[in-house]
Amino acid sequence: MSLSPAQQQYISELERCHKLILNQKDSLDIASQKIFFSLKEGGVMHVFGSGHSHSLAEELFHRAGGLVPVNAILEDYLMPHSGPSRVGPLERTPGIAKVIYNAHKMQKGECLLLASNSGINAVTSELCEMARSNGIFTIAFTSLTHSKQSPGRGNKKLFEVADLSIDTGTPFGDACVKLPNLEINVAPLSTLATIFAAQLIVVRVCELFSEAGLTPPVYQSANTPGGEERNKALEDKYRHRIQHLI
């Protein structure tokens, strides 16, 4: 049984995003190098997003095959499960980023990954600006199509303030599939596109460790023999820097 036309359209749109991301090889390489050098010196990679964009932090944190020194900045009041009527106004409120920044003790020379499809909400842009001004290298995952078409909300847009931006290629409004008798699109792309780009970077970071003759600090599945013991030994090195390693 073949996929429906709408399903095929979604796959085509996702493949288009993947191709656009792959064409940003220079940016992917710069991000990988910056993260590698920071982690090699004992640093931690910080990851943030509000709303559904927090999925990037969830994906990169405490994941089999993923990097151990990842500080996922997960603020419940900025996640969908706290209620959209609460999260929406908060992520647009100036000043909240300062509270988040002060709570996570980022160090000069470390990297901060930020995800925002629209790139227009205050909390993400302000956190990016604050981190960058304090010597943190900031890497944004955002849709330039959406961000440039959006009138904004008074603050600078994420791609305007980050050291480096990866364009996820998602369309204005995120959703990409057109259906009859519906004036808006369905099926968002931003989470899949962002995670694809981020995992390309993580793979290269691990490869750079190996090329340097070093063992990358990577999680083993806890559901494999010796996994939990190996992971705990790695975590103990970073536990004082990663809030959710409790």
Among the listed residues 124, 149, 152, the one whose alpha carbon sits nearest the alpha carbon of residue 139: 124
Structure tokens at 222: 């806890």
What CATH number is given to the structural domain containing 23? 3.40.50.10490
Dihedral sign for Cα 122, 126, 164, 237, please: negative
Residue 194 lies in a domain: yes
Domain that holds residue 111: 16-238
Residue 245 lies in a domain: no
- Residue-level pLDDT at 151: 79
- Residue-level pLDDT at 67: 98
- Residue-level pLDDT at 143: 98
- Interhelix angle 122-133/84-91, nearest 10 degrees: 40
Residue 4 lies in a domain: no
- Residue-level pLDDT at 246: 74
Residue 93 lies in a domain: yes
- Residue-level pLDDT at 86: 86
- Residue-level pLDDT at 166: 99
**Average pLDDT, consecutive stretches of 10 residues, N- to C-terminus, the chain (246 residues):** 95 98 99 99 98 96 98 92 86 92 96 97 97 98 95 85 98 97 97 99 99 98 94 94 88
- Residue-level pLDDT at 220: 97
The domain tally of the chain equals 1
DSSP state of 240: T
**CB-CB contact of 203 with 67 (8 Å):** no
Residue 164 lies in a domain: yes
Residue 66 lies in a domain: yes
Residue 37 lies in a domain: yes
Residue 3 lies in a domain: no
- Residue-level pLDDT at 82: 86
**CB-CB contact of 172 with 146 (8 Å):** yes
